[in-house]
Amino acid sequence: KHDQLQTSTKAWPPHAPQQLEPTPELMAELAAASARLESASPEEIISWAHDRFAPYLTMATAFGPEGCVILSMLAKVAPETYVFNLDTGYQFQQTLDLRDRIAEKYGIEVDMLQPELSVPEYEALHGGPLYKTNPNQCCFDRKIKVLRQAAQGKHAWMSGIRRDQSADRAQAAIIGWDKKFNLVKVSPLANFTKKDVWNRILAEDVPYNPLHDQGYPSVGCWPCTRAVTDGETDERAGRWSGTGKTECGLHTIQESEGSGI
C-alpha cells in the first residue's frame, strides 16, 4: 500500500481496518472533546488523543520549535506514537540533524517520508526547480501527496500549530475534522503562545534547530526560507517571501472543519 513512500528505519505502524467517517456522531464527539480540552494542558490533550485513537494516531513534524516540544511531551505520555517528517529533499541540514538529536534524547525515531521522485528526478521532469516557478505545485507534490499517503490507515494526526501564528491558524480547533486528509486533527499547542513554547524548550532543554538563533523564527525548505529582519514581527515573514504564498497547504483551515470551539 505504501510502496511509493520511502521510509527510513521504521516499520509501518498498524493499519486501521477502515478509515473514520465524519458521521454526525463523530463530529459531535469531537466538538464536545474539543470544548472540554480548551483549558487542558498539551499533555492532557495528547493523552486524550492517544487513549481515543492509538494505535492509529500519528504526528507530522517539520522539527519546528512546536514540533520539538510535542516530541518532548510524547516521550512522557505516548512514546510509541508513529511520528514522521515530510522529507522534501530541500530541508536544511540543521533540520535533518535534529532528527538524530531528538532520537538520542527521547528515543523517538522520526520516520523520514520522501516523495516518489528524488530532487534530481523531479527537477529533470519539470525542466528545473519548480519551487521557483510554481511553489504550490512543488508543495503539493513533495508534501501534501506524501501526507495523504501517510494518512492511509490512520484515524488522527497531531500537529504543532498555534492559534497566535496567523489569522488563519487562529481558527484552529483543539480537536477537529480535517477534510483534506480525512483524519481527526489534534492541535495540542493551539493555546500555547510563542513564549510558552520557548519557555518549555529552555526549561527542559528540548533540542531545537540552531537556525532559530540565526534569524530564522520559522524554518521550512531552504529555497523558500529566509532570515527575517529586526523590523519584521510576523514570525512567518521569511517563508515563501515575496511570492504571496503563506502556507504549504497542510494547515489550510478553509479545508478543515472546526469542531465548534
Interacting residue ranges for ligand SF4, rule: CB under 6 A: 88, 90, 131, 135, 138-139, 142-143, 220-221, 223-224, 248
Place of cell 494518512: 151
Please give the residue whose beta carbon sits closest to ligand SF4 in the complex.
221
CA angle at residue 253 from 250 to 257, to 5 degrees? 110
Which residue number, 52 or 245, has a Cβ lying nearer to ligand SF4? 245
Which residue number, 7 or 241, has a Cβ lying nearer to ligand SF4? 241
Catalytic residue numbers?
248
Take residue 127 and report the three cell numbers written for it: 525542466
Which residue number, 73 or 144, has a Cβ lying nearer to ligand SF4? 144
Which residue number, 47 or 246, has a Cβ lying nearer to ligand SF4? 246
Residue at 84: amino acid letter: F
Least Å distance, CB 177 to ligand SF4, is: 25
Least Å distance, CB 88 to ligand SF4, is: 4
